[in-house]
Amino acid sequence: MAKVPTALVAAGGLVGGYGVARWTGKRQLGGAVLAVAGAAAAQRWRRQAGGTAAGVLTAAYVAAFAGSHPLAKKVGAWPAVFGVTGAVALASWAVADRRG
């Protein structure tokens, strides 16, 4: 079985975390999805691209989560989540997945 690209893991964490929080009404549960996927992606980023790249991509993942909140006030919740998710997925692909 082929490896799941890290871009997909990170995207799943951001979109899945928001979706779970929204549909269950439990922010902590959405945060758990976000954290587990982020940790899994970070581990894979470290193996595939090294520690520095993993640190930068992890910071981008956290910044995307944080930045989606004020962005949502301007464009709406789902467009904000999809926008920041696309940026993180693209960065993840470019830094870690493209080579593999």
Residue 2, pLDDT > 90, answer no
8 A C-beta contact, residue 53 and residue 45: yes
8 A C-beta contact, residue 41 and residue 10: yes
Residue 24, pLDDT > 90, answer yes
Distance separating alpha carbons of residues 11 and 81, to the nearest angstrom: 10
- Report the predicted TM-score, pTM, of the whole model to 2 decimal places: 0.94
Tens-digit pLDDT profile for residues 58-97: 999 999 999 999 999 999 999 999 999 999 999 999 999 9
8 A C-beta contact, residue 17 and residue 37: yes
